[in-house]
Amino acid sequence: MRPNLKEYIEFINSPEGIKQREKEDRIANKNANIDFSLGLLVGEIIWRKTLSAYTNNTLSSFITEQEEIDMIYALEKQYHNVMFTNRKPDDKMTLEDKIEAERVWYEEVSYKQKLMGKYFPVEIKFTQSVSYIPENIDKFFAGVRHYLWNTDACSYNFSKENIEIEKMGILGKFIHFTFALDNEQLKTKYLEQYDKQD
């Protein structure tokens, strides 16, 4: 089950949580170079100029009134599930409770994914002009991905192969990106267990 806020705060202040944060800081410091920093900057530009228009928060501006009612119903069902089922201590939750919690969450996410697939572009291309071409494309990619991941709202994904660098003379340097709608069907161990019981 996903931890609640109290459990998370207790964890990050525990010895294990402090070790985890120190490990993350070491990784961040290792990545901190000009190519990673350029990736962070370009990631922010991409987010602000393009990808921020296609998120969970903007979905309601695309959908019909009936679809919005259905989405609100799914959200309310999920909220009821979180407020009542998930309040039980882990040792008091039966397998049926866990199955139902995951199924309600999955149904809400699946419905949103269906609407995103209907209204959002399947693919978005973006070109950014730069004065410096990254030497280490892995670090640059990590920087872009890090920024987009930390928005907690990005509906699109991309891989290193979706980055193309173009040089046109001394001043003409461009980086082309292709983003694909991240619309895979999500599966959990609880759903798989549920299907086995059917």
Report the length, in residues, of the chain.
Answer: 198
Looking at every residue in the chain, the average pLDDT score rounds to 78
The residue with greater pLDDT, 63 or 76, is 63
Beta strands in 21-168 (DSSP E): 123-129, 156-157, 163-168
Q: Is the pLDDT of residue 1 over 50?
A: no
pLDDT of residue 50: 94
For residue 23, what are the contacts with CB-CB under 8 A and spacing of at least 6? Answer: none
Q: How far apart are CA 58 and CA 129, in angstroms?
A: 27
Q: What is the pLDDT of residues 137-174, one digit of tens each?
A: 888 999 999 999 888 888 898 888 889 988 876 667 89
Q: What is the pLDDT of residues 89-118, one digit of tens each?
A: 556 667 777 777 777 777 777 788 888 888
Percent of the chain with pLDDT over 70: 73
The residue with greater pLDDT, 112 or 58, is 58
pTM score above 0.85: no
pLDDT of residue 126: 95
For residue 111, the tally of other CB atoms under 10 A from its CB is 16
The residue with greater pLDDT, 170 or 53, is 53
Please check whether residue 82 is in contact with residue 108, taking contact to mean a CB–CB distance below 8 angstroms.
no
Break the chain into its structural domains and give their ranges.
Answer: 33-54+122-198, 61-119
Among candidates 8, 190, 195, which has minimal Cα distance to 94?
A: 190
Characterise 152 by phi-psi region: left (phi > 0), alpha (psi -120 to 50), beta (else).
Answer: left
